[in-house]
Structure 1
């Protein structure tokens, strides 16, 4: 029997069906859940491997297709210039209300899933890191893990490039863990400092980890991958999730 069982479900939103890929520990029983928000490329092979690894540690992992109202269900964007251009186009075309509705739909789905204990974390990388933080506003989220979240410091996510995620971060009640690459051009030193200052000013419960690494250092495909740091980050996340969800 496989250690991890993969499946998917198409959930109903006001903007059409949203495909959610599920990675479940094999066997019966309920598990704490992790909503895993992907990069701008959607559910690529590296994202699937990361989700399966996390599920193998005993978590029910669900990965929503972020651009479900724009692309056919199952669409995966390539790690090339065309894929990058399309992914960046869509992250600024999607309305903030749609991002937030997606959180509500997935959380509600998990709360009604007998294979979920009811304890839920949000986790994301790149665009997904920002979405994981934004998910933290939902009362059903018990922990947030954000790896190099983009557009958070600049408040430029969504249609109109004007989000309020950082502006109201002081209202998040759930603990958070952040990991950053110090050589990441998408989140410069000044941007990281602004985020850290906002977290400190609000006296939130959070962890902050910086590494000498580029953007997307967790992605096990391409020249920016740093396997040693990726292992450290996975260990940090697993310890954090165990503390907050179990």
Structure 2
């Protein structure tokens, strides 16, 4: 079932779009905030959101670039789009973005159809935001795929109290080995954190249709994610 666009109220005024997809039958279910890559709420992110909904969740992908330019929907197929995406990434305010993630969590929790349990999952930029969802929001669980820059904010790890899962690509072109080691070492003492490493995989190995897509690794990571959410959001 195709999703629909909804309006979410920002905590500091204004509003932004969220792409909302319903679970089969549209009944009572937990929620998941799906956090975008650097290409906006594009066709890939909408398909991912639909997929989480098909697994039994109310899934919502918020437009986290709305403060820069609302409605960004670009692809990873041309150099021009990559340059635009990197430009958006550089302008992105993570603090404000996390306020918008928190507002999306609240919006899902406020739905009569939501059980009240809400998780967060993100990819690339969203993978970093998934870590912050665990350190800065009241999300009930969070999953990050190949998050960039987590090694620079490990001081926030002391705030983690809910389950967090990170998927790390061992050959990630945006996260060098020393950064990966710092993340693994820095989170090793947290009993609510689980980290999976995918040998020989590059950044965005789970982006279907992407240059580095690997079906076996993606299926493995996705199965772990769904099991994690079904347990953590029960």
The bucket for the TM-score relative to the shorter chain is over 0.9
Q: Does residue 54 of structure 1 match 2:41?
A: no
Question: What is the root-mean-square deviation of aligned Cα atoms in Å?
Answer: 1.6
Relative to the length of structure 2, the TM-score reads 0.92
Shift in Å, 1:168: 1.3
Runs of 4+ in 1 over 4 A off after TM superposition: none
Instruction: Give the aligned partner of residue 245 of structure 1.
Output: 233
SS at match of 1:232: helix
Shift in Å, 1:231: 0.8
Query: In the alignment, is the contact (CA less than 8 A) between 1:170 and 1:199 conserved in 2?
Result: no
Relative to the length of structure 1, the TM-score reads 0.88
Query: In the alignment, is the contact (CA less than 8 A) between 2:40 and 2:74 conserved in 1?
Result: yes
1:140-159 Cα offsets, whole Å, 9 max, x none, are 31111011001212x3xxxx
Query: In the alignment, is the contact (CA less than 8 A) between 1:122 and 1:133 conserved in 2?
Result: no
In structure 1, how many angstroms separate the alpha carbons of the residues matched to 2:41 and 2:133?
18
Q: Does residue 152 of structure 1 match 2:150?
A: yes
Q: Does residue 197 of structure 1 match 2:195?
A: no
Alignment of 1:1-246 (within 5 A): 4-13=1-10, 14=12, 16-72=14-70, 74-79=71-76, 80-153=78-151, 155=152, 165-201=153-189, 203-211=190-198, 212-246=200-234
SS at match of 1:40: coil
Shift in Å, 1:204: 3.8
Distance 1:94 1:28, change over 3 A: closer
1:39-94 Cα offsets, whole Å, 9 max, x none, are 1001222222222111111011100111001113x320231222222222222222
Distance 1:200 1:48, change over 3 A: same
In structure 2, how many angstroms separate the alpha carbons of the residues matched to 1:177 and 1:96?
20
In structure 2, how many angstroms separate the alpha carbons of the residues matched to 1:130 and 1:228?
23
In structure 1, how many angstroms separate the alpha carbons of the residues matched to 2:102 and 2:233?
19
Distance 1:172 1:109, change over 3 A: same
Shift in Å, 1:171: 1.1
SS at match of 2:46: helix
Return 5+ residue gaps in structure 1 as ranges: 156-164
